[in-house]
């Protein structure tokens, strides 16, 4: 199965805008060997418990985002080029945990991070954002800082 957004794509010197490839909000959803292709906000992992196995997810800015409680296992995460300023790094995740008591967060287990441009592993979208990369391989250039607080003090 392949899902992709095509709004303003391919970019012909126009501003690329948000267009979801998929929104997952049900509980106990699973995806095996699926492709999610987009640029900004590709996969909205909104809420619920989800499992992604051997999937390919591509984007440039906040392309895996939301407040789901999800495991991404053996997935390939690809940071693509876009029409935003290529001197700026992309962001793989924007996790939306808003309370220290929330159980949500993203776990990337044995994933391969690839890409054509530099990227942060994630940025804070919620005050208590939680993202874990476990036994993953990084072929893309990751910004040494790894995480960006997105100009919000206390979200480091």
User: Domain locations in the chain?
Assistant: 2-7+20-148
pLDDT at 150 > cutoff 80: no
Q: What pLDDT, in 10s, does the model give residues 36-71?
A: 998 888 999 999 999 999 999 999 888 999 999 999
Find out if CATH 2.160.20.10 is the number for domain 2-7+20-148.
Answer: yes
**Average pLDDT value for residue range 74-85:** 82
84 vs 57, more confident:
57
pLDDT at 7: 46
By CB neighbour count within 10 A (0-12 exposed, 13-18 middle, 19+ buried), where does 14 fall? exposed
Catalytic residues: 41, 62
Rounded to two decimals, the pTM is 0.85
Q: What pLDDT, in 10s, does the model give residues 4-18?
A: 444 444 555 555 556
Q: What pLDDT, in 10s, does the model give residues 99-136?
A: 999 999 999 999 999 988 889 999 888 788 899 999 99
Shortest CA distance to 59 belongs to which of 109, 107, 122, 13? Answer: 122
- What tokens does 93 get? 């995740």
Maximum Cα–Cα distance for the chain, whole Å? 44
């Amino acid at each position: 199965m392949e899902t992709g957004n095509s709004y303003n794509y391919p970019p012909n010197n126009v501003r690329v805008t948000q267009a979801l490839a998929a929104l997952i909000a049900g509980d106990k959803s699973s995806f095996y060997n699926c492709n999610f292709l987009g640029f900004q906000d590709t996969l909205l992992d909104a809420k619920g418990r989800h499992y992604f196995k051997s999937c390919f997810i591509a984007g440039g800015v906040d392309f895996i985002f939301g407040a789901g409680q999800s495991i991404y296992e053996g997935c390939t995460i690809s940071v693509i080029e876009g029409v935003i300023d290529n001197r700026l790094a992309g962001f793989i995740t924007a996790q939306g945990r808003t309370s220290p008591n929330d159980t949500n967060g993203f776990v990337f287990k044995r994933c391969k991070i690839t890409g054509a441009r530099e990227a942060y592993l994630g940025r804070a979208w919620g005050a208590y954002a939680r993202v874990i990369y476990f036994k993953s391989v990084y072929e893309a250039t990751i910004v040494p800082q790894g995480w960006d607080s997105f100009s919000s003090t206390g979200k480091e």
